[in-house]
Amino acid sequence: MRFCYAIALMMLLNASLKAQVKGKIVDVSDKDTSAVIGAAVHWKNTNIAAITDANGGFTIPVSHETNKLLIDVIGYEKDSIVVINPDKFLFIKLKTANNLNEIEVVYYSTGTEISYLNARKIETLNERSLMKAACCNLSESFETNPSIDVNFSDALSGTKQIQMLGLSGQYAQITKENMPYLRGLANNYGLTFIPGTWIQSIQLSKGAGSVVNGYESFTGQINTELQNPEHSDKIHFNTYVNENARNEYNLNVSHRFNPKFSAGLLTHASFNPLAQDLNKDGFADIPTGKQYNIMNKYAYNSGKGFEAQFGGGYLRDIRNGGQFRETVKNKSDTMPLYQIGIDNEKWELYSKTGFVFRKKPATSMGLQLSYLNHNQKNFYGSNNYSGLQKTFYANYIFESIIKTTANTYKIGASFMNDNVNETFNLFQYKREENVGGVFAEYAHNYKEKFNLVAGARADYHNYYGLFFTPRLHLRYAFNQHSVLRFSGGRALRTANIFSDNMYLMVSSRQWEIQSSDLKLPYGLKPETGWNYGLNFTQKFKVNYREAYITLDAYRTDFTNQVVIDVDNNPQKVLVYNLNGQSYSNTLQFEFNVEPRKRFFIKTAYRFVDTKLKYQQGLLQKPLVSKHRAFANLSYETKNSHWQFDFTTQYNGAKRLPDTKTNPQEYRRNDFSPDYFNLLGQITYLTKINKADFHVYLGVENALNYKQTNPIVSSDLPYNKYFDASMVWGPIYGRMLYAGLRLKIK
């Protein structure tokens, strides 16, 4: 009830707020219509001003002194407009100034931008951030970000997984263009299915997410925006090769057929032909394989309020790892090679349509639709897994204001159908989840001082019945440089016990599922929990240049969780519902500064305390570092021809699963050692006939640090002690790579 009273109280505070004028500025030429970014909008003879955003939009308070609005931006003729009705949405068209020479605007960025006015702390990783490292795919895009941990999931598949707020990536809601992406069968390998060159930006927010996107966000939301055909380069080609002979080729093309319609094609092909065994344990350090990936996107803008985006994609990803004849010494004719095979085939269709009501300011509606078909067939030695997932998703959103833009709301409804068939050895599971829900979200802005976003949704699940998801976000600015935020909310998800934990299949462990209700998926209750946290951000200047510190404190409390217990018995995987406590506390401090022009330093320290009640007691979650530190240095030369990036990661000790009952030679220590991981890249940028040309050379794991004996019982892979899942550090060692990019705007 206190939650409801708080919302009601905040809704009463809007009575005396100042009205605002909202609009959009576009560039109109014979062939094109596009948003004008960075245009200055101000009332004549006043200091009331605004700047257009990335979509050409602006919001400016109403002036009681004048109704004449002036527009000024370099490269365009100055313009003015008389505003008769402040409630009407303004659509302003500018003409290019014909007497100006070409002007290039250069903006130096650290690669990460933080929103100071949003009630949620949203970090945007832009193109500059993605250029700091190889970023062959989405899983590697977080190597230079201190909020996300990137680790190998096991010693054989070469798959990288992420951790956020001390918990595995499946507890973060990962979306693609604000539609569900990393769910079900894609949980383990899906981060490698989005090539880095396809990514336009990544928005990362910790804690409870928005109810508009669903109910599955425990630790935060990660949204990936792909290249948009309306604004992306006409041609973007990228090629990459590394020391392991991995080679990949990416080609993005876009074309605007007319001012209203444009199309884009994103393509990717990569090959891993070389099986190397640098640690001499008989197993390939990185699997061989190939991936083909293609996506076709279309965008339509009627210019009269209706917009649409639609398209589809296809992926085939094949990997082969484990033992090869060239990696195994003293091969026994009676013992087969231990090999793994991973085969993913996926296709998808999607559409996003929207309509802006021009006669009603800041009022619009949209419909998101998607369909996914994902087929997976894997084997890990003598373990066999196959899965087929078909998912349909629909989300309708209506957005408007209450009197002024200081009070906005969103209402809508969603529907999700998940049809999943899985077989793992003797286990066979089939489920069809149907979830229909409604949601409402209210946002209140008091000048630039205070923000509130309160949302709730009610969903009916065919297995779990009716459940509610409340979310609350608050922001208070002590001044324009000091911001405090609070977030809190509930989440629910179905645990995909096989796809979430495929790294445990590369072992001889026997799975034991302790079902509590056979009517539920896998016979297990859903995972539910609460996340709440604080964020404080302080901006200041060092040598007249921007700097900031930020402090995050978050806690995730599970009211129910599906426990994956690998400590009870080193020859088993026990799966059961939580009976007791499960929580994760995270504290992170970050400091960013530009000590000299174009030289950026980002540092961070994070403490994580994640504990879980197992059958044998409350234990620290395995393979999670309690302490982690991070430093990133970036420098760009004055002529912007050279970029230098260097990152140091400190990874503290991790608790390892209990192996005390194994024979001495197959035991592991209780904790891993701590270690440093260094990576760096040099990029040369130039122009060739007005095309941007980049050449880059980099290194991963520069110290050549490797985990000793990552595979338990590598000499006898088919005995009961074999386990390749206890990976806490690098497997391959130092990795050199090189590549080039060509962009035609």
Q: Is residue 661 part of a domain?
A: yes
Would you say residue 17 has pLDDT above 50? no
Residue 141 and residue 25 share a domain: no
Residue 208 and residue 84 share a domain: no
Residue 338 and residue 240 share a domain: yes
Give the separation between CA 439 and CA 417, rounded to whole angstroms. Answer: 18
| pLDDT at res. 33 | 57
Would you say residue 474 has pLDDT above 80? yes
**Model confidence pLDDT, tens digit, residues 339-393:** 999 999 999 999 999 999 877 888 999 999 999 999 999 999 999 999 999 999 9
Residue 144 and residue 59 share a domain: no
| pLDDT at res. 259 | 87
**Model confidence pLDDT, tens digit, residues 483-512:** 999 999 999 999 999 999 999 999 999 999
> Are 348 and 375 spatial neighbours (Cβ–Cβ below 8 Å)?
no
Q: Is residue 102 part of a domain?
A: no
Residue 315 and residue 427 share a domain: yes
Would you say residue 63 has pLDDT above 60? yes
Q: Is residue 256 part of a domain?
A: yes
- DSSP reduced 3-state for 664: helix
Residue 139 and residue 17 share a domain: no
Q: Is residue 694 part of a domain?
A: yes
Q: Is residue 123 part of a domain?
A: yes
Q: Among the three residues 29, 64, 94, which one is the final residue of a domain in this structure?
A: 94
**Model confidence pLDDT, tens digit, residues 454-467:** 999 999 999 999 99
Q: Is residue 99 part of a domain?
A: no
Would you say residue 100 has pLDDT above 50? no
Residue 361 and residue 276 share a domain: yes
Residue 148 and residue 88 share a domain: no
Residue 531 and residue 394 share a domain: yes
Give the separation between CA 213 and CA 178, rounded to whole angstroms. Answer: 7
Structurally, the chain folds into a number of domains equal to 2
| pLDDT at res. 730 | 93
Would you say residue 106 has pLDDT above 60? no
Domain at 77, CATH number: 2.60.40.4130
Q: Is residue 650 part of a domain?
A: yes
Using pLDDT thresholds of 50, 70 and 90, give the confidence band for residue 543.
confident
Using pLDDT thresholds of 50, 70 and 90, give the confidence band for residue 19.
low
Q: CB within 8 A of 151, min separation 6: which ones?
A: 160, 161, 162, 163, 623, 727, 728
Give the separation between CA 320 and CA 105, rounded to whole angstroms. Answer: 47
| pLDDT at res. 7 | 39
| pLDDT at res. 249 | 96
Domain range for 653 is 112-744
Residue 85 and residue 120 share a domain: no
Q: Among the three residues 94, 128, 147, which one is the final residue of a domain in this structure?
A: 94
DSSP code at position 638: T
Residue 259 and residue 198 share a domain: yes
Q: Among the three residues 94, 127, 160, which one is the final residue of a domain in this structure?
A: 94
Distance of CA 170 to the CA centre of its chain: 11
**Model confidence pLDDT, tens digit, residues 197-210:** 999 989 999 998 89
Domain at 415, CATH number: 2.40.170.20
Would you say residue 570 has pLDDT above 80? yes
C-alpha to C-alpha distances, 734 to 53, 243, 536, 650, 701, nearest whole angstrom: 42, 9, 37, 16, 5
> Are 709 and 726 spatial neighbours (Cβ–Cβ below 8 Å)?
no
Q: Is residue 100 part of a domain?
A: no
Looking at the chain, how many residues does it have? Answer: 745
- DSSP reduced 3-state for 472: strand
**Model confidence pLDDT, tens digit, residues 270-303:** 999 999 999 889 999 999 999 999 999 999 998 8
> Average of pLDDT values for 42-64?
78
Residue 117 and residue 70 share a domain: no
Q: What is the CA radius of gyration of the chain?
A: 27
